[in-house]
Amino acid sequence: MSSEALLKSTYTPAPLHRFKVGDKVVVKHVFPPGHRRTPQYIRGKQGIIERICGAYPNPEELAYGFDGLPEKVLYRVRFLQMQVWPGYAGPMNDIIEMEIFEHWLEPAGAK
């Protein structure tokens, strides 16, 4: 087994994370310029935290040659398709999931 196998687990929770699995969150409905990994179609939508992926260098900084530090906590968030696309044609249980960095999330119900 090489030393690669000893790397920290992909799923090691970030030590300081604002949300936990199952929390209801809303993706910020903002449109700042620059390199963003939060798709436009999901901004303003409500979902729940599916898992905590760990903490990673901020891609919004990396894209411009910075070191991306401090790392940002990355979550996977689950959304109901019916709540993402008003005209969604499939069954109401269909879901879509994606990765959202912590600074893009607010607790659901907060203003």
Partner 1 sequence: MSGIPFDYYARSHHDHAHDHDHDDHAPTSEHDNGPPGEYEIMSRAMQELLEQKGIVTAAQVTKRMELFDDEFPYRGAQVVARAWVDPAFKRRLLADGRAACAEMGTMLEAERLIAVENTPDVHNVIVCTLCSCYPRALLGMPPTWYKSRNYRSRVVFEPRAVLREFGTVLPEDVTVRVHDSNADMRYLVVPMRPQGAEGWSEERLAQLLSRDTLVGVTVPCVP
Residues that bind partner 1 (CB under 8 A): 1-2, 4-5, 7, 9-11, 37-39, 41-42, 53-54, 56, 59, 74, 76, 81, 84-85, 88-91, 93-101
Q: How far is the CB of 48 from partner 1 (least distance, A)?
A: 14
Q: How far is the CB of 70 from partner 1 (least distance, A)?
A: 15
Q: How far is the CB of 54 from partner 1 (least distance, A)?
A: 8
Query: Closest Cα to residue 41, out of 93, 79, 94?
Result: 79
**80 forms bridges with which residues in the sheet?**
95
- Quick check: helix, strand or coil at residue 70? coil
Separation CA 52–CA 23 (nearest Å) = 11
